[in-house]
Amino acid sequence: MTATLQTVDTPDGPFTIVADADGAVLASGWTGDPEATLARIHPTLRPTGVREGDTDAAGAVRAYYDGDLARIDGVPVRQRGTALQAAGWAALRRIAPGSPLSYTAFADALGSPRAVRAAASVCARNAPALFVPCHRVLRGDGSLGGFAWGLDVKRALLAREAAT
């Protein structure tokens, strides 16, 4: 399978998208390094070839940064993982902008209130960042916790979402 790779300039730095032939985002993140983005894709979904080009998802990224935060919700994504991970990624897409959850509340939303570490792992293994908004999950004390693309980016995303 050949995928399309596109890097978009954002206020938070370059944002690279890898999309399959159907336009579903396989991975994305705040980097100009295609290899860093490709490495996040599950091995069974990893493309055998990549070409640079335009993706439909890039328009949603631009709209998000222009204030249309809901535009990312309609972008198709494709990930592979356990049943808990799949449920977690779907649940992440239901967290409203400006209303972040704690890892504990996220675990509870998954039906496993004591599985806080598993909930954190769902976020850590999320490949299509922004489109599956794992940045909307925080530590119980309200601190940022981790984020694959850096805490400065996570902080900026949350501030942008809180302001609208």
123 an active-site residue?
A: no
Neighbouring residues of 39: CB distance < 8 A, sequence distance ≥ 6: none
For residue 73, give the amino acid letter. D
Catalytic residue among 110, 134, 138, 153: 134
Q: What are the start-end ranges of the H helices in 23-144?
A: 34-38, 56-65, 83-92, 103-109, 116-124
Neighbouring residues of 5: CB distance < 8 A, sequence distance ≥ 6: 16, 17, 18, 34, 37, 50, 51, 52, 53
CB 48 within 8 A of CB 103: no
Residue 53 to residue 67: CA distance in whole angstroms: 25
- Catalytic residue IDs: 134
